[in-house]
Structure 1
Amino acid sequence: MSGATAGGGMAGSAPHTSEWQLRLTVTEDGDLTQAHAVLDTGTGLLQADAEARRSAHDPQDAAIGDELAVGRALLDLGHRLVHAGSVAAEAAESARRRDGE
């Protein structure tokens, strides 16, 4: 494990703790439910939008549209977060290789 602790940090180093804020806005207009998600990491914002549309055959239960729209927005936000992390890791590795030459 090359000095890594069970928590993922290096042996002897203090753990890093941060708090991220997630804001969800859900708007229902007739058969359309829209969700807007904003993740504030403290150093940047990631945003995602999604929607759910009730068909004539679906029950008139607003909670279903809310769950679908919010779930879709959170999935999109998750994909954006993984992509941002991958891009940052690739950039750091590229810089490390460049500086090592």
Structure 2
Amino acid sequence: MDATKHWSIAVEIDEHDDTTRAQARLETAAGREVRGLGHAQRNPLDASVPEIGDELAVARALRNLADHLLHTTEKDIEGATGEPAHLYR
């Protein structure tokens, strides 16, 4: 079966003082939601460049989301095959 699918990831960024938090949320076509969280803390000696904190927090949230999605996939494979699944990370 040939198919083209489109999944979207929504990212929310919250900044407070020198701390930036990001949440990445993916909802699959089947309605499953997977979330990832990321955090960045500015060193008080560094100049304030909010975009850098955003980039770091979002990168960490996306990496965390990917880890959660891989774990979900392992569990789905195990459920379908009855065998342990270990995906390379």
TM over 0.5: yes
Which residue does 2:87 correspond to in 1?
A: none
Deviation at 1:59, TM superposition (A): 2.1
Which residue does 1:82 correspond to in 2?
A: 70
Which residue does 1:64 correspond to in 2?
A: 52
Question: What's the RMSD between the two structures over aligned residues?
Answer: 1.4
Q: Does residue 55 of the first structure (1) align with residue 43 of the second (2)?
A: yes
**Deviations along 1:10-51, whole A, 9 cap, x unmatched?**
xxxx31322111100111111011101100112211012221
**Deviations along 1:33-74, whole A, 9 cap, x unmatched?**
110110011221101222101111222100110011000000
CA distance in 1, matches of 2:65, 2:45: 29
Question: TM-score of the superposition, structure 2-length normalised?
Answer: 0.85
Q: Equivalent residue of 1:92, what SS? A: helix
Residue identity (%): 33
Bigger Rg, structure 1 or 2: 1
Note the residue ranges of structure 1 that are not aligned, 5 or more in a row: 1-13, 96-101
Given candidates 65, 76, 82, the residue that maps to 1:94 is 82
Question: TM-score of the superposition, structure 1-length normalised?
Answer: 0.75
Q: Does residue 17 of the first structure (1) align with residue 4 of the second (2)?
A: yes
Note the residue ranges of structure 2 that are not aligned, 5 or more in a row: 84-89
Which residue does 2:25 correspond to in 1?
A: 38
Structure 1 segments, 4+ long, off by >2 Å, are: none
Greater relative contact order (Cα < 8 A, sep 6+):
2
Which residue does 1:26 correspond to in 2?
A: 13
CA distance in 2, matches of 1:58, 1:92: 50
Which residue does 1:4 correspond to in 2?
A: none
